[in-house]
Structure formats: C-alpha cells, structure tokens
C-alpha cells in the first residue's frame, strides 16, 4: 500500500472515531447519530453538485449502499445507548475487515498477498482484543454484543459495495468522491422518513438542536468515508477496510482522555497488534 493511500485512510480513521465519540458523548445517542447522518447528506449534496456524475454501472451500487447505510446508522444509535465507546466501537468494527476481505475475494476475486493478509489478521486480532477486554469486565451486555456483530457484517457489506461502486464510477479521484456524495445524499434522503416514522413530526425540530456538534460530525463522517472510498479504488478493499479500523485506537484515546473511560493493560497489547498490522500493510 502506498504512503499516500495509507495516510488518507489513517486520517479517515481519526475522523470516524471523532464523529462516533460525538454520538457517544451526547444525551440522545440515537438522535445525535441521526443528525450526523442528515448533516452528512447535506454536505454530500453540495459535493455532488461539483463532482462528476457516476457512470451508469455505478448506480445500483449507490442505491444498495444508501439502503445498507441506513441500517448502519440505526444500529450505531442503538449500540451507544448502553456501552462505552472504547468497548463497543472495537466490537462493532473488529470482524468487519476479515468479512470484507472474504467478500471481496468471493465476489471480486481479490486475493491478498501473504504479508497483507498477515497485516489484516493482526489488525483484526488487535481490534477484537481491545473490545474483548471491555466485554470481560462486564461493560457491555449480550444484546449489545449481538448488535455489534450484526453491524460488523453491515460494515463489511457496504465496504465491498462502495469499493466496487467507486471503481465503476470512473477512473479519476473526483469520480470516487462523486460516487460517495451521491450515496451519502441518498442515505440521508432515505433515513429522514424513517426518523419521522419512529420519532414523529417533532423530529424536524430535533434536527435543529446542537447544530455545531451535528455539523462537525457530518463533516467528519462525509470526509472520512470519502477518503476510504477513494482508497479502495487504489488498493485492495480488504487492506483498506482493515487499516481503517485503526480508528479503534483513536476511539480508545478519545474515550479515555475526553469521556473518562478506563484504559486497561490488555488494551496496550491490543494496540501493539494493531500497529504491527499497520506496518505489515505498509510494506505489503
């Protein structure tokens, strides 16, 4: 993986941890995740107006991505209701890269080189270990664990869809950003009526609350994932999906120093595994 792609994905990982921490630290986590999604959509529409229109072959992927992302945002709001960010975040993200790599191999024929595969496995092991340390201490219940594992599959699925969809949208960097913009804009458009159906007409007033937090989350969510989508046009989907999960290290740091969550020695070992995986991917 090139240094430019790696830097972009690590920046995306930081942005992803930031917007997730904004959701976790909010009072109404479900509604905060919804605001982030809708603000992300607003930003996406603006970007879509100045980037190339996706090619015809990419549009089924745009639609599928939007539908799956709605499910993802619903689950994010549910997950942060009862669990620490530094526990549930790695549980949710941990298995996604391995599932994504398997899907990419089965659907697209992407076969990771031995060193890249070792890097992916090290990253997955580190991410899962970081979440498991919190689970062992009883800070997440069985129901939350089930939701986290379900969202891992959702993350893997949209990663493969978006990686291939961006590749079909066109060869330039702007094509990947345009693809992501249309997908994020459609996600917000589909999510809005779901919110109104669940929370009533008062949802519109709720959307206007905490505009700075929501807008900041929307910017981080859009920019971070746009970088990931672009990176998947330049590297294997499994590699990018795994490297993105370095966000768990950033999330743990935010959880400890900003949200006051505990950091145990086991997480230091998990972090070392993650860093070893990063090094393997860089030189694969």
pLDDT at 217: 92
**Any idea which residue has 């970007």 for tokens?**
47
Q: How many domains does the chain have?
A: 1
pLDDT in tens, the chain (284 residues): 899 999 999 999 999 888 878 877 777 777 888 888 899 999 999 999 999 999 999 999 999 999 999 998 888 767 766 666 556 767 777 788 888 999 999 999 999 989 989 988 988 888 777 766 655 555 666 777 788 889 889 999 999 999 999 999 999 999 999 999 999 999 999 999 988 887 787 777 888 888 888 899 999 999 999 999 999 999 999 999 988 888 777 877 777 777 776 666 667 777 788 888 888 887 76
- What are the DSSP calls for 143-191, one per residue? HHHHHHHHHHHHHHHHHHHHHHHHHHH-SSHHHHHHHHHHHHHHHHHHH
| pLDDT of res. 87 | 67
Residue positions counted in the chain: 284
Q: Which domain holds residue 278?
A: 3-283
pLDDT, residue 165, reads 97
pLDDT at 271: 76
| pLDDT score recorded for residue 134 | 59
Residue 95, token pair as written in the block: 């298995």
Phi then psi for 259, rounded to 5 degrees?
-95, -5
**∠ CA 53-56-62, rounded to 5°:** 75
């Amino acid at each position: 993986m090139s240094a430019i792609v790696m830097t972009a994905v690590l920046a995306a990982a930081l942005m992803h941890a930031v917007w997730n921490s904004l959701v976790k630290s909010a009072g109404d986590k479900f509604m905060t995740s919804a605001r982030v999604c809708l603000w992300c959509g607003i930003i996406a529409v603006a970007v879509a107006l100045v980037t190339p229109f996706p090619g015809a072959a990419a549009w089924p992927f745009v639609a599928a991505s939007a539908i799956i992302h709605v499910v993802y945002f619903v689950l994010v709001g549910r997950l942060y209701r009862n669990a620490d960010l530094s526990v549930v975040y790695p549980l949710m993200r941990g298995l996604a890269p391995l599932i994504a790599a398997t899907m990419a191999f089965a659907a697209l024929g992407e076969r990771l080189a031995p060193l890249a595969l070792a890097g992916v496995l090290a990253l997955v092991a580190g991410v899962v270990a970081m979440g498991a340390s919190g689970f062992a201490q009883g800070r997440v219940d069985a129901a939350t664990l089930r939701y986290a594992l379900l969202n891992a599959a959702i993350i893997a699925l949209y990663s493969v869809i978006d990686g291939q969809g961006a590749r079909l949208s066109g060869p330039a960097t702007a094509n990947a950003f345009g693809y992501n913009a249309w997908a994020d804009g459609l996600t917000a458009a589909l999510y809005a009526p779901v919110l109104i159906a669940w929370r009533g007409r008062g949802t519109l007033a709720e959307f206007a609350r905490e505009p700075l937090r929501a807008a900041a989350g929307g910017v981080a969510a859009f920019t971070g994932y746009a970088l990931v989508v672009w990176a998947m046009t330049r590297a294997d989907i499994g590699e990018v999906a795994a490297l993105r999960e370095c966000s768990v290290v950033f999330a743990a740091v935010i959880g400890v120093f900003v949200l006051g969550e505990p950091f145990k020695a086991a997480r230091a070992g998990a972090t070392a595994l993650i860093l070893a995986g990063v090094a393997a991917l860089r030189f694969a």
